[in-house]
A and B are shown apart, each in its own frame.
Chain A
Amino acid sequence: MSGSDKLRVLLVEDNPGDVLLITELLSDRKTELEIDVASDGEEALNYLYGRGRYQQAVAPQLVVLDLNLPRVSGLDVLAVLRKDPRMSPLPVVVLSSSDAERDIVESYCRGANTYIQKPVDLRQFQEAVAKIESFWLSLAKLPSLQKPAPKEEKLDD
């Protein structure tokens, strides 16, 4: 982390309810967070690669990724990031409502740093978000990535 720069988190989440919930819960604790939101996988990749309207976007230190996303799924986003040496150090926390074994296994296979199931219970949700925050945003040292030059990324391999 460099100096007084705010920690930047990219939240990839299509459900506005969850976006609000997560941002509210996160901002409960910290004011030093910049939370950007992408509402589907494609938008997330555009953001990360500075494409289209995200040309000015700054590279985040952490991605919180939902799996069940329109257009490009969370797992596919993971795959793209991990195949790109420039992106592969970026920590990704999967935050999904799925508890299906195959989702969990597949996420880790594709390089997720952690997999957290969205708790149904609000208190547990708060706790989960707090723990993500305290671990990833306080305790863990995160890499600072240079935003790569805009170019098309292939999704199909």
Chain B
Amino acid sequence: MSAATLEGDVNPPGNPLDGELGSPKGIRLGEVPIGEGSLPLELPGQILQSFEFAVVATDAQGQISYWNKAAEELYGYSPAEAIGRSLDFVVPEADRRDLLRLIGGLRRGRDMQITHALHRHKDGSLIETSATFKALLDEQGELLGIVATASDASKQRRLNERLLLAFESSPSGMVMVDDKGTILMLNAETERLFGYKRQELLGRKVDILVPDRFTDLHQHHRASFARNHTRRLMGGGRELYGRRQDGSEFPVEIGLTPVETRDGLLVLGVIADISGRKLAEERFRIALESAPCGIVMVDHSGKIILINLETERLFGYSRSELIGRAIEDLIPQRYRKEHVSLRDGFARQPEARVMGSGRDLFGLRKDGSEFPVEVGLNPIMGPDGPAVLCAILDITERNQTAELLRIHAEELQRSNNDLEQFAYVASHDLQEPLRMVASYVELLAERYQGQLDERADKYIHYAVDGARRMKQLVSDLLSFSRVGTQGKPLQPLETEQVLRGVLFELRQLAEENEAEIMVGPLPRVMADETQLRQLFQNLLSNALKFRSDAPPKITITAFRSVSEVTISLSDNGVGIDMAYAERVFQMFQRLHERGKYEGSGIGLAIAKRIVERHGGRIWLESQPGQGCTFHFTLRAAAPPEAL
């Protein structure tokens, strides 16, 4: 009998897939030198001891003569307890007959494998084992002994179960086919992907999963894979599709792994449904292509590696003409040299920003024409190294719009100035003839009132009254138009000093009213001094004029933000219904009937005009009977030490 081998249909114990049962390194079971005619006891004990599966040998009568360490671990008996006993002492009584039959078979030279047997452990429990039995025969065919190996089958079973489970529950479809393309195995995901039941696929040709138009090609490729098989992705860059049972198709990616078995070459196909990725790619493509700006990706050397549709449209090049070109080809010649160095600078310090920092940028079309652009730069880490994503916007229209707006603004400014000038000149020049009219009707009244008849006196009265009102209006209009036409440049002013001057001028009015005026610290502002005085004067006069029965209390405070000073002037006067809060700032708007208060209603309009000319805002807060607070803002002036 030649060397005993343990190969068979069953996995040898110490399956290389099982880390727990790994066979001793460097020892191949098939080559264990169980010498011809020799007893297993002659095997180098060290080797047998090192096996992780139980090795038990008997003599011809079935008395145990060898018991290795793994056997001790498996059954719980030490060699001393086992040697000399009958081989069946670990077999439950009910099964001993079978063992006898098996040994009978062995005597007739038949090796046996039992993949699943229940043996009894020393502690009385039953253990799942798989075992092999081999007869050792002499040259005459006489039984010399039996070598049995056993291992814990529960481990093996669990391992197999796990492997199956892994295969089964893989998120990818897995199909094992033989060299003829017959499906031998498949997992649940494959069923799900293709919409077949397992039984409908097992034994069928794998072509059933391939759309008809690819069938021929697939057979061809399968044949060549069989000749030259390496683990690789199927399709070599082509788009692959799977065909479902209902005939519909879906994009797939397939990994092919050749598996050599004793049954020949098998191929494991791992199939991933890439519809989701395809969808994402399609969405990306649509987003890229329909972006309203040109998008250009440039690699670290300045080469264009990606563009979108809008880029083609903007520059007049086709995609194939641009990919691989230098980005400088899209820039007018005069800027190219500078651009290269700027690009190097950007590569050293990449940050997302707008290109050009305020300079005008131009794109160069294929036809040589130029157009103004705005370019956003975004450094990215592309799949093949650092790159820059440029978003390019044609701003021809925007520039035109901006230019139109500028022209409009200029025209508005001019017509505004003209209007102001007109108002000024009109009110100024009206004064002369008006003075004549007013003076003579007054002179007439003075000298002839009562000398004519009653009716004439009435005429004179109305003429005088009208002339007086007109004088007031013309003079107010003149003051108002002067704010815009006679203004001086703004300069840093000591606000408190200006206000003190105004309070001095108003001291008599304030005294008459028994007014109490409190002034908080006021920061310096940028203003035209004459106009700032007038502003304070108008607001203070307003507060004194619209006093309540109580003596006026006026508080002037200021709040300074970074660039702006808000000055607030509060009084305890009659207040204003907020419904009229806007109207009080309009020219010649009076909230009270004529005669109750003096004035034509120009004071606050002038105040507003002054504040607006200074680039500020003016508003008020009030409740009738609760007093009133006017707020206005002016540009803050730097403190004197900073000048």
Check if B436 sits within 8 Å of A121, measured CB to CB. Answer: no
What residue of chain A has the Cβ atom nearest to residue B444's Cβ? A122
Bound form: Cα–Cα A17–B471 in Å: 17
Q: Does B446 contact A (CB under 8 A)?
A: yes
Bound form: Cα–Cα A18–B471 in Å: 17
Q: Which residues of B contact A120 (CB under 8 A)?
A: 431, 434-435, 438, 471, 475
The digit string for A1-17, where 1 denotes a CB below 8 A from any CB of B, is 00000000000000101
Known: A120-B471, A121-B471. A97 touches B443 (CB 8 A): no
The digit string for A57-73, where 1 denotes a CB below 8 A from any CB of B, is 00000000000000000
Q: Which residues of A contact B439 (CB under 8 A)?
A: 17, 21, 122, 125
The digit string for A114-128, where 1 denotes a CB below 8 A from any CB of B, is 000010111101000
CB distance from A97 to the nearest CB of B (A): 6
Interface of chain B: mostly helix, strand, loop or mixed: helix
| Count of B interface residues, CB-CB < 8 Å | 13
Q: Which residues of B contact A24 (CB under 8 A)?
A: 443
Bound form: Cα–Cα A8–B56 in Å: 160
Check if A122 sits within 8 Å of B446, measured CB to CB. Answer: yes
Check if A21 sits within 8 Å of B443, measured CB to CB. Answer: yes
CB distance from B620 to the nearest CB of A (A): 31
Known: A21-B443, A24-B443. A121 touches B438 (CB 8 A): yes
Check if B438 sits within 8 Å of A122, measured CB to CB. Answer: yes
The digit string for B432-467, where 1 denotes a CB below 8 A from any CB of A, is 101110111011001000000000000000000000
**Selected contact of B440 from candidates A17, A97, A123, CB within 8 Å:** A17
Q: Which residues of B contact A123 (CB under 8 A)?
A: 442
Check if B443 sits within 8 Å of A122, measured CB to CB. Answer: yes
Bound form: Cα–Cα A27–B487 in Å: 42
Q: Which residues of A contact B432 (CB under 8 A)?
A: 15, 97
Q: Which residues of A contact B442 (CB under 8 A)?
A: 121-123
Within 8 A of B (CB), among A92-122: 97, 118, 120-122
Q: Which residues of B contact A118 (CB under 8 A)?
A: 435
Q: Which residues of B contact A121 (CB under 8 A)?
A: 438, 442, 471
Bound form: Cα–Cα A64–B432 in Å: 18
Q: Which residues of A contact B436 (CB under 8 A)?
A: 15, 17-18
Within 8 A of A (CB), among B336-354: none
Q: Which residues of B contact A15 (CB under 8 A)?
A: 432, 436
Q: Which residues of A contact B440 (CB under 8 A)?
A: 17, 21
Within 8 A of B (CB), among A1-44: 15, 17-18, 21, 24
What residue of chain A has the Cβ atom nearest to residue B475's Cβ? A120
Q: Which residues of A contact B431 (CB under 8 A)?
A: 97, 120
What residue of chain A has the Cβ atom nearest to residue B474's Cβ? A120
Q: Which residues of B contact A97 (CB under 8 A)?
A: 431-432, 435
Bound form: Cα–Cα A21–B442 in Å: 11
CB distance from B435 to the nearest CB of A (A): 5
Q: Which residues of B contact A18 (CB under 8 A)?
A: 436
Bound form: Cα–Cα A125–B436 in Å: 11
Q: Which residues of B contact A125 (CB under 8 A)?
A: 439
CB distance from A64 to the nearest CB of B (A): 16
CB distance from A103 to the nearest CB of B (A): 12
Bound form: Cα–Cα A97–B428 in Å: 10
The digit string for B603-630, where 1 denotes a CB below 8 A from any CB of A, is 0000000000000000000000000000
CB distance from B204 to the nearest CB of A (A): 108
Q: Which residues of A contact B475 (CB under 8 A)?
A: 120
What residue of chain B has the Cβ atom nearest to residue A17's Cβ? B436
CB distance from B442 to the nearest CB of A (A): 4
Bound form: Cα–Cα A17–B431 in Å: 14
Bound form: Cα–Cα A122–B440 in Å: 8
Bound form: Cα–Cα A29–B442 in Å: 18
Q: Which residues of A contact B471 (CB under 8 A)?
A: 120-121
What residue of chain A has the Cβ atom nearest to residue B445's Cβ? A122
CB distance from B469 to the nearest CB of A (A): 12
A-B pairs, top 8 by smallest CB distance, nearest first, are A122-B442, A17-B436, A122-B439, A120-B435, A120-B471, A97-B432, A21-B439, A122-B443
A-B contact pairs, 10 of them (CB 8 A): A17-B439, A21-B443, A97-B432, A97-B435, A120-B431, A120-B434, A120-B471, A122-B438, A122-B439, A123-B442
Given contacts A15-B436, A97-B431, 6 further A-B contacts (CB under 8 A): A18-B436, A21-B443, A97-B435, A118-B435, A120-B471, A121-B471
